[in-house]
Amino acid sequence: MALSILPSGGDRFRLHPVAPRLAPIFCFALLTASCALASFAFACATPFAAFAVVAAAMLPQRPALLVVTGAWLVNQTIGFGVLHYPVDVGTIAWGFVIGAAALLATAASSTVLGLLPQGRTPLMLAITLVAAYGIYELALLATTPFLGGEGAFTAAIVTRIGLTTAVWLAGLVAICEIVRLVDPAGRERAMSA
């Protein structure tokens, strides 16, 4: 049996902005462009948990992981190439930890969406975001004994970043819905394919 990177019609996928054959490309473009914007606006507070939820809601797990990896690479390229992050062992290690945390959040999102019932998409995406954000932050926190940075995990900072991540998720879902509504024939093809 061949593996497919395309979502199938009657599956768990919650977001169908474009036809299934275009979903990987659309998701990659949406998340890498969003990541570039977030990287300039927030630098180290890029909303990877929101990206993980959107990718998992649109794609099977393997392509979702690839898309989130692409977004992470954009973030790191902008950070080191444009924003001039220091090129030292600690900063590079944090970059890899952020990438690993983003991938864990994506895997968690895929799992949670697979377990939740169909319907009530906004509620299911919100529940998935809570899980993804929790996994993401715990993965980052787990590395602080080795890399430092415990001060970035105060309740105020984690809450502020969590709320920012929720706003990003709402914006990304809104973009998906606008794309779906702009091309209603594409939506019908997306849902029937």
> Binning pLDDT at 50, 70 and 90, where does residue 118 land?
confident
> Binning pLDDT at 50, 70 and 90, where does residue 1 land?
very low
Q: Can you tell me the distance from the alpha carbon of 157 to that of 90, in angstroms, rounded to the nearest whole number?
A: 21
Q: Is the pTM of this model over 0.85?
A: yes
pLDDT digits (tens, 9 = 90+) for 77-93: 999 999 889 999 999 99
Q: What is the per-residue pLDDT for 41?
A: 81
User: Which residues, other chains included, contact 193 with Cβ-Cβ below 8 Å and sequence gap of 6+?
Assistant: 9, 19, 20, 21
pLDDT digits (tens, 9 = 90+) for 46-55: 999 999 999 9
> Binning pLDDT at 50, 70 and 90, where does residue 5 land?
very low
Structure tokens at 74: 């954009």
Structure tokens at 13: 């996928």
pLDDT digits (tens, 9 = 90+) for 155-184: 999 999 999 999 999 999 999 999 999 976
Q: What is the per-residue pLDDT for 68?
A: 98
Structure tokens at 185: 């024939």
Q: Can you tell me the distance from the alpha carbon of 105 to that of 131, in angstroms, rounded to the nearest whole number?
A: 8
Q: What is the per-residue pLDDT for 3?
A: 43
